[in-house]
Amino acid sequence: MNEKDLLLVANLRQNARISLTKLSRVSGMPVSTIFQKVKKHFNGKILKHVALVDFSAFGFNLKAYLLLKVKKDQKDDLLKKLGSCVNINNLFKINNSWDVLAECIFKDLNSLESFVEDIEENFTVRAKEVHYVLADLKREAFLADPASISFA
């Protein structure tokens, strides 16, 4: 990807609903070029357009990151269970003595604790850490500021 492509990505990350006309004005590229890049060049690179949500505004006041290590033969089953859980916002397979990292969204602490107890009852949990998010300080910022893309 060249810097013009990164500029397009940054503008789309800042506002995925930006019109091609406005994107043309801010990037200096013709609308037809942008259209082609978005349809062909970025196919498979832009995975999903989503809205960033303040979950607490909907009554989900607890966000936590859950690190888990289970018996080797239970990893796949754990990933399936976590992958199908509506309270898991993001799920990652990780390393350095851990198996998974799950971003969990719950209404309250009791709901999260019940969820963790269920995991512990159904899997041999060898290690567990729960990290509560106190405040979102920076979210989805990488390649999201067109001003940070240099043309050097």
Q: Quote the CA–CA distance of 83 and 132 in Å, as a whole number.
A: 20
Q: Is this prediction's pTM over 0.85?
A: no
Q: How high is the pLDDT of residue 130?
A: 98
Q: Quote the CA–CA distance of 132 and 94 in Å, as a whole number.
A: 19
Let me know the angle formed at the C-alpha of 9 by 89 and 52, rounded to the nearest 5 degrees.
30
* Fold annotation for 55-132: Alpha-Beta Plaits (3.30.70)
Question: Is domain 3-49 in CATH 1.10.10, yes or no?
Answer: yes
Q: What are the sequence ranges of the domains in the chain? A: 3-49, 55-132
> Is the per-residue pLDDT at 4 higher than 90?
no
Digit-coded pLDDT (tens) for 37-66: 888 877 788 877 788 889 999 999 999 999
The pLDDT of 27-31, averaged and rounded, is: 91
Digit-coded pLDDT (tens) for 109-124: 999 999 999 999 999 9
